[in-house]
């Protein structure tokens, strides 16, 4: 099993990074090979809606998302981890998600060539918000869960945490365990 972790926070060593590492540790403990992509260290432009990928299945923008798309295809599961920025996901994560457009044809069906590798791929999510009410992250969950269902992927769930200062979530053993279990679930057939 190959498990891919995608970090949407620009704060390296921050709360979503810590929880993503927990999830990847859980996946590794379950015997998986893991890889982590830190989006803020990549060059990923926003989707231009040029429509070229509708026919080719490959984005016309030649940046790091080309290789990331290949890595997603090869992964059995993808776990995303992202903080709430103004009641939404970070710009790094949104640019990445919009580029998933390349998986689809002009009718918003998964390109035939990608179906065998995408169908049933496990998708998980970790959210962190400063607000004590974790449901502040619900719009992000809606976005990822609906995208997963729309693309016929296998939504495996979400871990929602509250933490404000850098690394604060490290004290929260319960949510770290939840993230670890999400990783185990991703790596368990
Ligand atoms: C630009 C910006 C906007 C934010 N907006 C929100 C928000 O709307 N709601 C909230 O609960 N927390 C908000 N936060 C707080 C972060 O979600 C919180 O600090 C989180 O722990 C950051 O996670 P990280 O350490 O993984 O980067 C915001 C932080 C920043 C920097």
Reported as a single tens digit per residue, the pLDDT across 59-86 is 999 999 999 999 999 999 999 999 999 9
C-beta 85 within 6 A of ligand 1: yes
What is residue 91's predicted lDDT score, i.e. its pLDDT? 98
What is residue 149's predicted lDDT score, i.e. its pLDDT? 96
- 86 Rama sector, left if φ>0, alpha if ψ -120 to 50, beta otherwise: left
Written as six digits, the tokens of 73 are 């295809």
19: buried, middle or exposed (CB in 10 Å: 19+, 13-18, 0-12)?
Answer: buried
Report the nearest atom of ligand 1 relative to the CA of 9. Answer: 27
pLDDT > 70: percent of the chain:
100
pLDDT, tens digit, for every residue of 133-164?
Answer: 999 999 999 999 999 999 999 999 999 999 99
C-beta 38 within 6 A of ligand 1: no
C-beta 128 within 6 A of ligand 1: yes
Report the nearest atom of ligand 1 relative to the CA of 169. Answer: 21
pLDDT, tens digit, for every residue of 91-143?
Answer: 999 999 999 999 999 999 999 999 999 999 999 999 999 999 999 999 999 99
What is residue 143's predicted lDDT score, i.e. its pLDDT? 98
Q: Could you tell which of 81, 130, 159, 165 is best to mutate to test the pocket of ligand 1, judged by most ligand atoms within 8 Å of the CB?
A: 130
What is residue 41's predicted lDDT score, i.e. its pLDDT? 98
Q: Whose CA is nearest to atom 12 of ligand 1?
A: 130
> Closest Cα to residue 139, out of 186, 100, 174, 94?
94
120: buried, middle or exposed (CB in 10 Å: 19+, 13-18, 0-12)?
Answer: exposed
C-beta 90 within 6 A of ligand 1: no
C-beta 86 within 6 A of ligand 1: yes
pLDDT, tens digit, for every residue of 10-43?
Answer: 999 999 999 999 999 999 999 999 999 999 999 9
**Side-chain half-sphere exposure of 108, counting CA atoms within 13 A:** 7
CA terminus-to-terminus distance, the chain: 8
**152 DSSP 8-state letter:** T
What is residue 117's predicted lDDT score, i.e. its pLDDT? 96
Distance from C-alpha of 160 to C-alpha of 16, rounded to nearest angstrom: 10
What is residue 71's predicted lDDT score, i.e. its pLDDT? 98
DSSP string covering 43-112, please? Answer: --PPP----HHHHHSS-SS-STHHHHHHHHHH-SEEEEEEE-BTTB--HHHHHHHHGGGGGB-TTSPBPG
C-beta 130 within 6 A of ligand 1: yes
Strand partners, 162: 129
* Structural contact between residues 186 and 122, judged by C-beta atoms closer than 8 angstroms: yes
């Amino acid at each position: 099993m190959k498990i891919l972790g995608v970090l949407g926070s620009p704060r390296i060593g921050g709360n979503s990074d810590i929880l993503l590492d927990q999830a990847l540790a859980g996946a590794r403990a379950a015997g998986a090979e893991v890889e982590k992509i830190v989006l803020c260290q990549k060059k990923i432009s926003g989707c231009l809606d040029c429509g070229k990928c509708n026919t080719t299945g490959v984005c016309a923008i030649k940046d790091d998302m080309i290789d990331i798309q290949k890595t997603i295809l090869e992964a059995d599961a993808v776990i995303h981890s992202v903080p709430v920025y103004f009641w939404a996901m970070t710009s790094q994560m949104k640019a990445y998600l919009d580029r998933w457009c390349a998986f689809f044809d002009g009718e918003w069906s998964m390109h035939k060539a990608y179906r065998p590798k995408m169908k049933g791929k496990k998708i998980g999510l970790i959210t962190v918000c400063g607000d004590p009410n974790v449901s502040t992250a619900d719009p992000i969950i809606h976005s990822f869960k609906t995208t997963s269902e729309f693309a016929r992927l296998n939504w495996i769930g979400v871990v929602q945490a509250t933490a404000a200062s850098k690394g604060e979530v490290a004290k929260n053993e319960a949510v770290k365990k939840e993230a670890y279990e999400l990783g185990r679930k991703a790596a368990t057939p």
